[in-house]
A and B are shown apart, each in its own frame.
Chain A
Amino acid sequence: AQSVTQLDSQVPVFEEAPVELRCNYSSSVSVYLFWYVQYPNQGLQLLLKYLSGSTLVKSINGFEAEFNKSQTSFHLRKPSVHISDTAEYFCAVTGGFKTIFGAGTRLFVKA
Chain B
Amino acid sequence: EAGVTQFPSHSVIEKGQTVTLRCDPISGHDNLYWYRRVMGKEIKFLLHFVKESKQDESGMPNNRFLAERTGGTYSTLKVQPAELEDSGVYFCASSQTNSPLHFGNGTRLTVT
Is there an interface contact between B45 and A100, defined as CB atoms closer than 8 Å? yes
Query: Are A42 and B105 CB-contacts (below 8 A) given A97-B48, A97-B56, A99-B45?
Result: yes
Q: How far is the CA of A43 from the CA of B3 in the complex (A)?
A: 11
Given contacts A43-B106, A104-B40, A104-B43, contact A99 B56 (CB under 8 A): no
Instruction: Please report whether the interface of chain A is mostly helix, strand, loop or mixed according to DSSP.
Output: strand
A101 touches B35 (CB 8 A): yes
Give the interface residue-count category, chain B.
Answer: 20 to 34
A101 to B105, CA, bound (A): 16
Whether A104 lies near B42 (C-beta < 8 A) is yes
Q: Which of B84-109 contact A (CB under 8 A)?
A: 91, 93, 98, 100-106
Bound complex: CA of A90 vs CA of B104, how far in Å?
15
Known A43-B91, A90-B43, A104-B40; judge A99-B103 contact (CB<8 A). Answer: no
CA gap between A34 and B100 in the complex, in Å: 8
B contact residues around A69 at 8 Å (CB): none
Q: Are B33 and A99 in contact (CB under 8 A)?
A: yes
Evaluate contact between A99 and B55: CB separation under 8 angstroms: no
Count chain A residues whose beta carbon lies closer than 8 angstroms to a beta carbon of B: 20
A3 to chain B, nearest CB (A): 10
**CB-CB contacts below 8 Å: A6-43 with B:** 32, 34, 36, 42-43
Contact A43 B40 (CB under 8 A): no
Are B55 and A97 touching (Cβ within 8 A)? Answer: yes
B104 to chain A, nearest CB (A): 6
Q: Flag whether B75 is at the interface (Cβ < 8 A).
A: no
Sorted nearest first, the 6 A-B pairs with minimum C-beta distance are: A43-B105, A101-B43, A44-B103, A103-B42, A43-B103, A46-B100
